[in-house]
Amino acid sequence: MDEQPKITVHALNKSRRADFYRLHNQANGCGWCYCAAWWVPTWEGWGERSGEANRVLRESLFDEGEYDGYLLYMDDAPAGWCQVGRRDRLVKLVRQFELPPDERVWAITCFLIAPGYRGRGLASILLQEVLHDLRCKGVRRVEAYPKRGADLEAEDLWTGPERMWQAAGFRVARDHPARPVYDLEL
């Protein structure tokens, strides 16, 4: 009888910093962004940034105490990541989606499932655990920003697939043909 792997989800903190980098690395095709995309002020020049510049930005966020997400583990191996935090801290996100300021709203902005773990429903498990933890912390409203389209590649799903948000009970807060805004009252 095959034993099922143990799946756990933990908020990122200082003690899990190394696991963040075990997941965000070249072997997983993720050694460039380091989940820094929403932290830079504009998309202008984003494609020309180096992985090292993004890692330096990520390190500075960690040094400032910004541990902005959750890690999913399969047994003891980091297999998934979800970036989460107060929405208005990400100026570029608020500006891009023309969102009114609201310090009470949280944003779930990025997902990464390591290539060897994809296709197992782990992003949905991670999302459910994140939502549970946010409820426990007293968060009342979260938003998501999936890309929409019939022919999306895996690299287009870094904000989570639209069907995952729908299955989790999120509703369209602002419709757009390519980039809708979804929200969920917790």
- One-letter amino acid identity for 136? C
Q: What would be the CATH architecture of the domain defined by 7-185?
A: 3-Layer(aba) Sandwich (3.40)
Is it the case that residue 138 has pLDDT exceeding 70? Answer: yes
> CA-CA distance, 94 to 49, in Å (whole number)?
22
Is it the case that residue 31 has pLDDT exceeding 70? Answer: yes
In the block, residue with structure tokens 């993004």: 54
Does residue 72 contact residue 7 with C-beta atoms inside 8 Å? yes
Tokens standing for residue 82: 């979800």
pLDDT tens track for 147-183 = 998 888 877 889 999 999 999 999 999 999 999 999 9
Does residue 145 contact residue 38 with C-beta atoms inside 8 Å? no
Annotate 96-152 with DSSP letters as a single string.
Answer: HTTPPP-TTEEEEEEEEE-GGGTTSSHHHHHHHHHHHHHHHTT--EEEE-----TT-
Does residue 180 contact residue 159 with C-beta atoms inside 8 Å? no
Is it the case that residue 1 has pLDDT exceeding 70? Answer: no
Is it the case that residue 30 has pLDDT exceeding 90? Answer: no
Mean pLDDT of 66-80: 96
Prediction pTM value: 0.95
- Strand-strand pairing, 105-113 and 141-144: parallel
* pLDDT, position 179: 95
